Homo-oligomer: A and B are copies of this chain.
Amino acid sequence: MTKWKDVKKVVLAYSGGLDTSIILKWLQTELGAEVVTFTADLGQGVDDLEPARRKAEMMGAKEIYVEDVREEFVSDFVFPMFRANAVYEGTYLLGTSIARPLISKHLVDIARETGADAVAHGATGKGNDQVRFELAAYALNPDIKVIAPWRDWAFKSRTELLDFAEKHQIPIAKDKRNEAPFSVDANLLHSSSEGKVLEDTWEEPPEYVHQRTVSPMDAPDKVTEITIGFQKGDAVSIDGKRLSPATLLAALNDLGRDNGIGRLDLVENRFVGMKSRGVYETPGGTILLAAHRAIESITLDRGAAHLKDDIMPRYAELIYNGFWYAPEREMLQALIDKSQEDVEGDVRLKLYKGNVIVTGRRSPKSLYRNDLVTFEDDRGAYDQKDAEGFIRLNGLRLRTLAARNRGE
């Protein structure tokens, strides 16, 4: 390929599946490049990455990286994002978006270690993921080349793709033969399904597209009560038991899955300009968001909380659009992290058939003061007379305006 003719060595984000195996081969044959593979355990639900390693070996990958990045994923990406209560377009918890910069970071690091001049990913030319992979890579290495084979290759149909695979002896699972492309993504935070049966926004998603939760209707008819402990804005324990970030999120996922929590069927606006419909499942994240908001409700000052709410949509948009490594995201993170120093304490929740119900929150750093708010005698903590001046001065400009408007 003329376009990539100078590329000698590529680091490929490699899942071991059919599509990225085709890409691996295509990079070797069409570009004549050496390929380094990177396969990560992001908590996508694949227990064993050894088959991917063996497949990469078999296909002639020059160097093979297989890594468990689950703790890094949760500590350095998921938790910082949850400190912001980030939600895109009012509903989406950014489960796919947040994993992309991590993968790019590893690709770029491996490129440096192995002397590769390019990285490659398996995202299509219609989605957000290409943007996220590539912006992250550019921000981390301005000279890196990023190859997106789906945008470049000449295959015109699924059939041509499979023919290429067959020709190069890439094993094709039986059930893949007749399947149209169908996008699924998964990691420790969420799984998503897009395309095919979901493309009619009026049709209800069939039950089988769900990958990691039972339906609220099928969840047990009993309440599960848990307590999540927080420190500096991050969850650190469940029911008093300290857990590492990834272990904690995995435990919340189990609790969410069993109780039908975290399903979402939405139509979202992609950065590349069109609307798309997706079914997302974020069981643990949904619980975590509710709990984080609850612990903030007693430990965060109003000014801090409202500033966070005001900038949140922008922060979420930056992550959605792939600007994790942009300075404005880092500036907002500095603002957010500054607010979390005293966000600590416990939140008690009931999980029940799709519901996450906060039933209590407590903290050594609580700003809730019963003596101020009580209807009972407050022993002078609050002077109701102050309210009169407060209201009068807040209203002064409105009165001035009203007088002006009636012609005074």
Q: Which residues from chain A sit less than 8 Å from chain B, CB to CB? A: 85, 89-91, 124-126, 130-131, 134-135, 138-143, 148, 150-151, 157, 180-183, 195-196, 199-205, 216-217, 221, 223, 263, 265-270, 272-277, 293-294, 297-298, 301-307, 309-314, 317, 322-323, 325-328, 330-332, 334-339, 342, 348, 352-355, 357-362, 365-370, 372-377, 382-406, 408
Contacts and interface: CB of A to CB of B under 8 A. Distances in A.
A323 B303 contact: yes
A268 B367 CA distance: 11
Contacts of A126: 372-373, 375, 382, 384, 387
A399 B328 contact: no
12 contacts: A90-B309, A91-B293, A139-B402, A180-B375, A196-B375, A267-B297, A269-B397, A301-B401, A327-B401, A354-B354, A365-B404, A367-B401
A400 B354 contact: no
A325 B368 CA distance: 20
Nearest to A289: B90
A139 to B, nearest CB: 4
B135 A369 contact: no
Contacts of A369: 274-275, 400
A135 B275 contact: no
Given A303-B326, A354-B353, A370 B272 contact: no
